[in-house]
Amino acid sequence: SYRKVADIKNEKLQEFRSRFELARMRPTESIKEYFTRIEELVNGLRTNGEVFEEEKIIEKILQSLNLKFNNKKVILEATKDLSTLRLDDLEGELVTYERSFNQQKYETLEEASQEKDDH
């Protein structure tokens, strides 16, 4: 019976590891949604005995962001000490960037619409 419990736990751990390694931010996913998904995977790993450093989670998130975050990613990697960066701080930085990015996109669409109406 104990053997079966250990096997089940190990299978779950392998599944969560695989899902964590393969996780990528989806094109339509917000930063908040992506962080929630990653946190659920990490919680699953921890529940099944995996020891997970915050730095590893941060590295994973940075390497698996959408292309629209490339500029922010480069800036973060150049200006922040990733070994001391907290997950909450990273999320805050990325949410702020996402908001700004979406606002610029909206304003560009508004301007394009105005120009079209003016012609």
Better-predicted residue by pLDDT, 108 or 92: 92
For 118, the token pair is 């003016």
Residues in the chain: 119
Assess whether pLDDT exceeds 90 at residue 117: no
Identify the domain containing residue 19 by its residue range. Answer: 2-118
Cβ atoms of 66 and 27 closer than 8 Å: yes
* Predicted local distance difference test score (pLDDT) of residue 1: 61
How far the first Cα of the chain sits from its last, in Å, is: 76
In Å, what is the CA distance from 115 to each residue of 60, 109, 111? 42, 10, 6
CA nearest neighbour of 105 among 61, 68, 80: 68
* Predicted local distance difference test score (pLDDT) of residue 100: 93
Q: What is the number of structural domains in the chain?
A: 1
